[in-house]
Structure 1
Amino acid sequence: MRGACILEAKELATAICAAASDKKARDIVTMDMTQLTPTCDAFVVCSANTATQVRAIADNIEEKLAEAGVSFLHKEGYREGEWILMDYGDVVAHVFRQETREYYALEHLWSDAPLTPYED
């Protein structure tokens, strides 16, 4: 477990998924990274149609987790709104514009990671 966090990794991933879902993120999945990288336990990956929606999803994740006493360690890509990465230590959220998600294909790149689709 990396970083100081009030929530366990699974709870953190679920909270990120729920916050993304609140803003109509599409194709939300959690990727179990525990056997693949020492840097985190999970990726949460989701997508949106526009850069504006990508930013709204990231803003909501940040707001909802802050309400739970959790803040990110690092965030990048916000200005462009194509791919916003939010590092919460044990869980890294990837919020993509749909075309950018297809281009980078994290699910394919990390194809050994078990995927769990989010269902709200």
Structure 2
Amino acid sequence: MEMNEIVQSIAEACDDKRAENIIALDMNQVSLVADYFLICHGNTERQVQAIARAIKDEMDEQDIEVNRMEGFEQARWVLIDLGDIVCHIFHKDERSYYNLERLWGDAAEVPLHIGQEG
């Protein structure tokens, strides 16, 4: 499975848990940390945990190892390290504070094909 397809499946898992403002950034030209960042947020700690769990379950289903998951208990900013892809699941209050989209503004946004409901 190609990286872009994995990013898409992660975005779909987030969307299934009603994550908001899901974006993926192509980090290849701007960072050595990862090839892609996926960023989204939930409105409550419980939703943030559900989104993180959905990503982990989706990766398990595809036999992709989760290297590390941090912040799950507090559910304010959960980071899931998949090696070439790093997922950032924020609580809505934390997302605007850290504003990773602006911090990594040089990264190109990857088009996602998900059915966001308003």
So what's the TM-score if we normalise by structure 2? 0.92
Alignment deviations for residues 34-57 of structure 1 (CA, whole Å, 9 cap, x no partner): 001122110000011001000000
> 2: distance between equivalents of 1:17 and 1:93?
10
- Percent of aligned positions that are identical: 38
Q: Please tell me whether residue 105 in structure 1 is matched to residue 84 in structure 2.
A: no
Aligned residues between the structures: 114
The worse-fitting range, judged by mean Cα deviation, of 15-24 and 109-118 is 109-118
So what's the TM-score if we normalise by structure 1? 0.90
Q: Please tell me whether residue 67 in structure 1 is matched to residue 65 in structure 2.
A: no
**Structure 1 letter corresponding to 2:87:** A
The Cα shift of 1:69 comes to: 0.6
Q: Which runs of 4+ in 1 moved over 2 A?
A: 116-119
Q: Find the counterpart in structure 2 of residue 35 from structure 1.
A: 29
Unaligned runs of 5+ in 1: 1-6
Aligned residue among 7, 12, 15 for 1:21: 15
Q: Find the counterpart in structure 1 of residue 44 from structure 2.
A: 50
| C-alpha spacing 1:117/1:48, structure 2 compared with 1 (3 Å) | farther
Alignment deviations for residues 10-60 of structure 1 (CA, whole Å, 9 cap, x no partner): 122111101101100000000110001122110000011001000000001
Unaligned runs of 5+ in 2: none
> 2: distance between equivalents of 1:64 and 1:11?
12
